[in-house]
Amino acid sequence: MPVGSEPTSVATVIGDLEAAQARGASQDELLEAAVRAIEASEPRYDWVGIYLLDGDMLTLHNYVGRPTEHSRIPVGVGVCGSAVAERRDINVPDVRELENYLACSVETRAELVVLISDPVSGRIHGQIDLDSDRPGAFTPEDERELRRVADWLGRLF
């Protein structure tokens, strides 16, 4: 890192996770710590959660933000299920333009889903899901940084 530059917020998230892992945190605790740290890292992130994939169903592991009724989402349904079905991260600038969308909150405008996969086999284990009340909230840099966190989490399975 160049002298005088600040660590990125995601570098801080990964640093927190590595410290928790070194203290012996379990996989569940690390998934919870990741959600808390990501949400705290950036005010644009109004809702952050991790869904885990169990067969053809995504199950909400933990989240920070407004309560959601979507604790189980079938593959192919909504933004979350589409990301798994299409095996790709999805950045939606404005969810009002989507038909295949499950509303978590009427305030939500933007959504970013980043897949958590096994680094060797590529098997999908789940995803980080972020919502923002601001249209177009998620930048290419957010995508890159969250991908680094997801890659770190993908090694835990």
Binding residue count for ligand SME, defined by CB under 6 A: 15
Out of 80, 84, 137, 150, name the contact with ligand SME by CB under 6 A: 80
Question: How far, in Å, CA of 151 to CA of 64, rounded?
Answer: 21
d(CA 100, CA 102): 7
- Characterise 53 by phi-psi region: left (phi > 0), alpha (psi -120 to 50), beta (else): beta
Q: Is 52 in the site for ligand SME (CB under 6 A)?
A: no
Nearer to ligand SME, 64 or 156 (CB): 64
- The verdict on 68 binding ligand SME (CB under 6 A) reads yes
Stretch that binds ligand SME, among 22-30, 37-45, 75-83, 120-128 (CB under 6 A): 75-83
Closer CB to ligand SME, residue 101 or residue 157?
101
Question: How far is 146 from 148, CA to CA, in rounded Å?
Answer: 5
Binding mask 103-132 for ligand SME (x = CB under 6 A): -x------x-----------------x-x-
Q: Rounded to whole angstroms, how far apart are CA atoms 71 and 55?
A: 15
| Helix residue ranges, H only, 23-139 | 27-41, 78-85
- Pairing label, strands 90-92, 110-117: antiparallel
With respect to ligand SME, which residue has the nearer C-beta, 14 or 81?
Answer: 81
CA–CA separation, 35 and 129 (whole Å) = 9
4: enclosing H helix or E strand: none
Q: Which stretch binds ligand SME (CB under 6 A): 7-15, 38-46, 67-75, 136-144?
A: 67-75
Binding site for ligand SME (CB under 6 A): 47, 49, 68, 70, 73, 78-81, 101-102, 104, 111, 129, 131
